[in-house]
Structure 1
Amino acid sequence: MIREMRESFGSELDCRVFNTLIYSCSKRGSVELSGKWFRMMLELGVQPNVATFGMVMGLYQKGWNVEEAEFSFAQMRSFGIICQSAYSAMITIYTRLSLYDKAEEVIGLMRDDKVVLNLENWLVLLNAYSQQGKLEKAEQLLVAMQEAKFSPTIVAYNILITGYGKASNMVAAQRLFSGIQNAGLEPDDTTYRSMIEGWGRVGNYKEAEWYYKELKRLGFKPNSPNLYTLINLQAEHGDEEGACRTLDDMLKIGCQYSSILGTLLKAYEKVGRIDKIPFLLKGSFYQHVTVNQNSCSILVIAYVKNLLVDEAIKLLGDKKWNDPVFEDNLYHLLICSCKELGHLDSAVKIYSLMPKSDDRPNLHISCTMIDIYTTMGQFNEGEKLYMKLKSSGIGLDVIAFSIVIRMYVKAGSLKDACSVLETMEKEKDMVPDIYLFRDMLRIYQQCGMMDKLNDLYFKILKSGVVWDQELYNCLINCCARALPVGELSRLFNEMLQRGFDPNTITFNVMLDVYAKAKLFNKARELFMMARKRGLVDVISYNTIIAAYGRKRDFKNMASTIHTMQFDGFSVSLEAYNCVLDAYGKEGQMESFRSVLQRMKNSSCTADHYTYNIMMNIYGELGWIDEVAGVLTELRECGLGPDLCSYNTLIKAYGIAGMVEDAVGLVKEMRQNGVEPDKITYTNLITTLQKNDKYLEAVKWSLWMKQRGL
């Protein structure tokens, strides 16, 4: 219709038509439609006037529409029109959005455009400087306002008092407040509210309370910020009676119970005085908390967080609402909060007093409690909960199985952990997560279940689980004896290619694997890699030294011992034992004695393994006197022979033809509580056969069969 009018009336169509439409939209608060009329006006070549810009800028100010406001403001200046309210609107928008630099630019444009300031302009400028904290400039502006024959209004004083309050300069704010009456004005409700906020910001409860009482005495109503400020001060200064009065005032002005409760908790938690909350919640307020499950839950969570478990339990006992699902979730949240805070006894107390269904226990609560009992070492209590879950017929999920398995592992009941794993494997579509897979690997390794480890490895490969660094380390460490060397090597190389870092244990495991597989070059390369990364330890050196010993590579063995010392490690007993064994078996007795002497001169004390190596080497050479000397030394040091010692001695006596002494050792073993094994009897029979005691050998052979050996 507008376009038709344009065609009919031509240049006679002016801004009055559009102003009428924009005014109508302005009354309705329709910002978007007003903007459309304004843009059409420009498209049709109709020049806006002062009233046009006043209306559209006023609308944009209400909606804080900065982009449209900037467009309209630029158009106004391009037409050379000066609309005082448009300047005010633009400055107000920028100030409200904290775009202070842009607000300053508009103030500069006002000077450039020689705008004659009206009262609104003066007040907007005062507010812009006050909001920025440029209060000296604001006071200078107040003086300039008076010089321009504008008497300061209470609004001007309120703006400055608010600014000083935000800057925590209450001396200046008090000076302005005292000057209000000297200027022939009276403070209004905003003045008192600003003073309350200012004194509250600097923590002066006495002054804030005085202004609050004056506000009420004069018949003014406090606003929500005043009440929140007062509650915070009362919490800080321990004025619970005053806080009760403030709570009543909050209810009178229409604040919601839930909002008040949130403010109250925040104030008292901040100062560590949450224990005073029960004193404040009385009458209708407490009644609301008992019937409103959201408020009830907020309060009990706060109580538990601050160790007021008894108060939380009392409130839960007084509650009037009935929502079993919500209640279960709330109890679970409380128990979890106690667990996270380390208040495990409180968690047990809450659980013991919560309503329960023996027929249908809550899976999540039960699992959390099993975890808590595990942490506390109360494994019997945790097992009882597991048995209840099991008998109830509730299906356990992966997390539940993980928690139960870890309980048994921590309790040292690996057999029970394996039983739970068997139960889990019977569940259809039960796919363990990466954490449970790692637990399973460790359990099977500790139980020596190599077949299970092998099966689990290939199950993990097919599971689709995303492998991380820890899983690679865990798999290699646990499956070292269950997987072929080639597969372990492939797995280790894949780990490196994917950018994951093996830990020291993984390096040591792979060193041991390569050494035992006689892949000495790979073992050496791996050792150098670990050393370059700074991940070698004493075990690494022991392993590579043992590998060189098996290979009879004495040069590299000796070199590695020097490197070990160069890297700051003392030569360990295990390293000495490996070197002794290697030299002894190769018959290099001079080197053997040299190493033995070096070991005795060091801080290393011989162990069973050391003595057994010595007896074995001397026995193989038929040096029975040396064997006897070692045995005497073994007994004198307080260790005494172990199973391996006896087996070695029987073998040595056999080589030396001391049959009766060999047979006597079996009797001695039993007397000392050492049970002979298959090797014992095999060595004894060999001794008898070598010394033509065939009948005795047959008897001992039959004895072995009877023993199932």
Structure 2
Amino acid sequence: MDCLTLPSAGAFTLDSLIDLRHSLHGFLSCKFAGHVEARPSRTWVCSASAVRNLAPPKEKQVELERDRWLSQIRGYFREGKVFEAEDLMRKMGEVGLVPDLFCYNALITAHGKADRFESARAWFCLLESDIRLQPDAVTYRSMIGACGRAGELKGALELYDKMKAYGFRPSTQNFNTLISLHRKIDKDVNKEEKVLGLLVDMREMGCCPDSPTIDVVVRLFERWRILESLPAAISLLKAAGWSPTQRCYSILLKAYIRCSMIELALDVFHMLCETLSCSGSHDDGKDLVSQGPCNRGSKHSDDTHDVFVYNGNSMGVNTSFRVDESLCHSLICLCRTMGRYTEALQVFSDMRHSGTKPSWFTASTVIDICGRLNEATAVERAEALFIEMRSSAEGKEATDAGAYTVTINMFLKAGLAKKAAEIATLVSEHEGLVPDSTLFVAMLRAYSRCGMPAKAVQVYKSMLGVRLTWTAPMFNGVIHCCGRALPLEESIKVFLAMVYAKVSLSSGTCNLMMDIYAKAGLLDKAENVFKLAKEHGVLDAISYNTMIAGYGRFKEYNRMEYAFLEMQSAGFKDHVEAYNSMLDAYGKASQLRRMENTLERMRRSDCRLDLSTYNILINVYGREGLIEELKKIRKSMKDANIEPDSYTFNTLIFAYGNAEMPNEAMGAFKEMQDLNLVADEVTYNCLIAAFERSGNHLEVARWSLWMTQLGMK
């Protein structure tokens, strides 16, 4: 008999072997070898044929084989080998083995996350058709997630209905997916009710919403342009256990800003500030959208001025919370767009109160808003902010072209040309900064307003050294701000470059170039610019007046008269300046008859004489020594209630002096003082000349001493 020796040292006892014998039901014939007490080891000798009967039953073998397959499949899943696991699951089916629910769920989840919706659905259908297994809550949750990634709203809703029927509870992520998928039904009139129904289900199933929930709801309502209906959704979310957090407020604020809903945006912003100021605690039930504007900003309104500019210490600044700087910048920009400048500055103050340091983008926006307000206090605060931002070496280096531009423009609008020029000088001293087109134009305007044409010319030369695409503001800025200071050839070159670049011409630019040409005696070129302006449809009354003055200056009277007639034919009714130019031209040429005829035409045309008209006539008659005519003009001026200026009296004093009429000259001087007009150096020189011409040397000495005491030469 074939024998099999079974050692039993320690591992087997006699009782266990007897039990083994009984379990074999007599098929095992064995004998005990050795003496139990004498031998340390025991050996059982049994028939080999009987051992074959020890193999487990078939069902046990199948179960062991299935466990081996499932173990291998799970190993593949752990290693991320989805397709290998899928192949094994198919082979299991081919050999009649059934995978467990875990494998199905894992495979459905993997395919869903990898955007293989059809594969996930195929395995889900296979699971549903298997009578030996049933999908559980995890299965449905995974399939809803797969539907969400595939954009399958209908399939997701069917799965959701089955979950409710089987008593399974969807996860918060499932609800977020279902809500988000409703973006597919923009044309459904009941879409809002369907989303609100899902929120009701969340409350009834005890599923607590999270930040992504409010995110998808807000985005959905924003997409449907029904953000004004958001309060109902928020009420349901809060009833389901949702508590607003900083992130939720930020989501709402961004949505309201994107939709330009400024009132709601400001409300949410101030509630966000209140939430953050409470040491990071959540809001205690305040309605996110119901706070009225009457309470807005009341918390920090008293210390707006204190924290508008940070003074370098922590006094008065709460550093326990921070408001997102980019959100504040967006809200400030929205307020600026809506013309809500005061609210914009309040938002900035609240941001500074929280200890949040503004970026140059935000600071530049605030400076621009202060410039638009054009109030002395606002300009002072903006100037202080600009200085603060540049107080450190890092801040100076980070100052960009936009910051310089808005600051210069702010000072120009406030009439502070000198300060604007100082900022422009800082730009020139900023190493490594390459100004853009808008900054160049701002610098040109600053130097021009400040009466510094040489500096403007330097800016123009800097513009030539930078690779920039010249725009209409750049061409116009150069011509207007330094066109007269540049050599004539350079001004012509800039204008021709503007024409060749096919930049839209403005009436102001054309008029200025006409004047430059006309004063240089280049009347033909001035006429060419006039024709060009006419072709572009930018001719105005100033264009005609400029040409009339140019013709008169060089005694081209026929062309001057023709230009005046053409102006009348063009329909321009304000002819005062044109008449004045013609009067001045005839008067300077001593053609008094033509001048008087023109004056008569002017009166007949119901064109009211202005101060310039009277000054021209007084100057002409005074120069010609026609004192009586001069007095008539002065009387006519009084009758017309035209207030004289310093030039009027200087001309009168000069005329009386030339006529050796010092008393009349002194009378004109006293009248000038009675009208509180300031006498300048020209006035005193004319008066001294009048006394000198009449031989009154004592008065000459007295008035000369007076001039010296006044600091005049």
Q: Flag whether TM exceeds 0.5 (same fold).
A: yes
Distance across 2 between alignment mates of 1:382 and 1:662:
51
Q: Structure 2 counterpart of 1:381, which letter? A: R
1:27-176 aligned at under 5 Å gives the runs: none
Q: Which string of whole-angstrom CA distances, capped at 9 and with x for unpartnered residues, describes residues 330-361 of structure 1?
A: 33334334434544444334333336577965
**TM superposition shift of 1:471:** 0.5
Which residue of the other structure, out of 589, 593, 610, is the alignment partner of 2:592? 589
Partner residue in 2 for 1:449: 452
8 A contact 1:550–1:582 mirrored in 2: yes
For the Cα contact (< 8 Å) 1:647–1:683, is it kept in 2?
yes
Asked if 2 retains the 8 angstrom alpha-carbon contact of 1:662 and 1:684, the reply is yes
Q: What residue in structure 1 maps to residue 385 of structure 2?
A: 385
Please, which moves more after superposition, 262-271 or 394-403? 262-271
- What is the CA–CA distance in structure 1 between the aligned matches of 2:205 and 2:594, rounded to whole Å? 93
User: In the alignment, is the contact (CA less than 8 A) between 1:234 and 1:240 conserved in 2?
Assistant: no
Question: 1:616 corresponds to which residue?
Answer: 619
The 2-side partners of 1:418 and 1:590 are apart by 49
Q: Quick one: distance in 2 between partners of 1:695 and 1:643?
A: 26
* CA distance in structure 1 between the aligned counterparts of 2:536 and 2:196, rounded to whole angstroms: 67
What is the CA deviation profile of residues 301-331 of structure 1, one whole-angstrom value per residue up to 9, with x for unaligned ones?
1245533233343345546599999933333
Distance 1:689 1:352 in 2: 67
Indicate yes or no: 2:218 matched with 1:261: no
Deviates more, 1:255-264 or 1:386-395: 255-264
**SS of equivalent residue, structure 1 residue 432:** coil
Alignment of 1:601 onto 2:604 = yes
Match of 1:648 in 2: 651
Rate the CA distance shift 1:325–1:457 in 2: closer, same or farther, 3 A. Answer: farther
**Which residue of 309, 313, 319 maps to 2:270?**
313
Which of 656, 669, 677 is residue 680 of structure 2 equivalent to?
677
Which of these residues, 414, 418, 422, is aligned with residue 415 of structure 1?
A: 418
Task: State the Cα deviation string for residues 47-69 of structure 1 (Å, max 9, x = none).
Answer: xxxxxxxxxxxxxxx9xxxxxxx
Give the number of aligned pairs: 517
> Could you give the per-residue CA deviations for residues 254-297 of structure 1, whole angstroms, max 9, x where no partner exists?
9985266224442266223134454244388745x637x5x653
Q: Summarize the Cα distance change of 1:340–1:373 in structure 2 as closer, same or farther, 3 Å threshold.
A: same
Taking structure 1 as reference, are residues 357 and 217 closer, same or farther at Cα in structure 2, changes over 3 Å only?
closer
SS at match of 1:639: coil
Partners of 1:285 and 1:463 lie apart in 2 by: 61
Q: Assess if the C-alpha contact under 8 Å between 2:249 and 2:268 holds in 1.
A: no
Change (3 A) 1:526 1:250: farther
Gapped regions of structure 2 (runs ≥ 5): 1-81, 87-110, 112-117, 119-142, 282-318
Counterpart AA for 2:370: Y
1:27-81 Cα shifts (integer Å, max 9, x gaps): 8799xxxxxxxxxxxxxxxxxxxxxxxxxxxxxxx9xxxxxxxxxxxxxxxxxxx
For the 8 Å contact 2:320–2:354, the answer to whether it is kept is: no
The match for 2:370 is: 373
Q: Which residue of 2 aligns with 1:667?
A: 670
Q: Distance in 2 between matches of 1:399 and 1:704?
A: 49
Asked if 1:525 is matched to 2:528, the reply is yes
Q: Does structure 2 retain, via aligned residues, the 8 Å contact 1:338–1:347?
A: yes
8 Å CA contact 1:659, 1:688 repeated in 2? yes
8 Å CA contact 1:360–1:392 kept in 2: the answer is no
Match of 2:225?
270
- Report the CA distance between 1:542 and its aligned residue: 0.6
Deviation at 1:545, TM superposition (A): 0.2
Query: CA separation in 1, counterparts of 2:402 and 2:574?
Result: 46
Match of 1:181 in 2: none
CA distance in 2, matches of 1:360, 1:260: 29
Q: CA deviation at 1:547?
A: 0.6
Cα offset, 1:561, TM superposition = 0.6
- Cα pair 2:619 2:651 within 8 Å, conserved: yes
Deviation by residue 1:433-471 (Cα, 9 ceiling, x = unmatched)? 110111111121112112211222212222333311220
Structure 1 vs Structure 2 CA RMSD: 4.3
For residue 385 of structure 1, what is the amino acid of its counterpart? L
Q: Residue 407 of structure 1: CA displacement?
A: 2.2
SS in 1 for 2:324: helix
Instruction: Tell me the distance in 2 between the aligned counterparts of 1:662 and 1:385.
Output: 55
Q: What residue identity is the alignment partner of 2:251? A: I
Q: Give the alignment partner of residue 245 of structure 1, picking from 175, 197, 200.
A: 200
Change in CA separation of 1:259 and 1:244 when aligned onto 2, cut-off 3 Å: closer
1:471 matched to 2:474? The reply is yes
Contact 2:549/2:581, CA 8 A, preserved across alignment: yes
**Counterpart selection for 2:546 from 535, 540, 543:** 543
Deviations 1:444-499 (A, max 9, x none): 11121122112222122223333112200111011133212221112111222222
Q: Which structure has the larger Rg? A: 2
TM-score by length of 2: 0.63
* TM-score where L is the length of structure 1: 0.63
CA distance in 1, matches of 2:595, 2:271: 78
| Closer/same/farther in 2, CA of residues 198 and 457 from structure 1, 3 Å limit | closer
Distance 1:695 1:301 in 2: 82
Q: Give the gaps of 5 or more residues in structure 1.
A: 1-25, 31-61, 63-91, 93-188, 201-208
Partner of 2:463: 460
1:517, distance to aligned residue in structure 2 (A) = 1.9
2-structure distance, mates of 1:532, 1:602: 30
Higher relative helix content = 1
Q: Does the CA-based 8 Å contact 1:361-1:388 persist in structure 2?
A: no
Contact 1:580 1:596 in 2 (8 A): yes
Is 2:292 the counterpart of 1:339?
no
Which amino acid is the alignment partner of residue 244 of structure 1? L
- Please report how far the alpha carbon of residue 509 of structure 1 lies from its aligned counterpart in structure 2 after TM superposition: 0.6
Query: Counterpart of 2:518 in 1: which secondary structure?
Result: helix
Match of 1:290 among 241, 245, 261: 245
Is 1:299 aligned to 2:252, yes or no? Answer: yes
Which one of the candidate residues 566, 569, 581 is aligned to 2:569? Answer: 566
**Offset of 1:699 from its aligned partner?**
4.6
Please give the secondary structure, in 1, of the residue aligned with 2:571. coil
Q: Which amino acid is the alignment partner of residue 520 of structure 2?
A: A
Identify which of structures 1 and 2 has the higher relative contact order when contacts are C-alpha pairs closer than 8 Å and 6+ apart: 2
Task: Return the match for 1:438 from 424, 434, 441.
Answer: 441
Percent same amino acid among aligned pairs? 32
Q: Deviations over 1:552-591 (max 9, x none)?
A: 1110011001111111112511110111111122232222
Once the two structures are overlaid, the 10-residue window that deviates more, 689-698 or 638-647, is 689-698
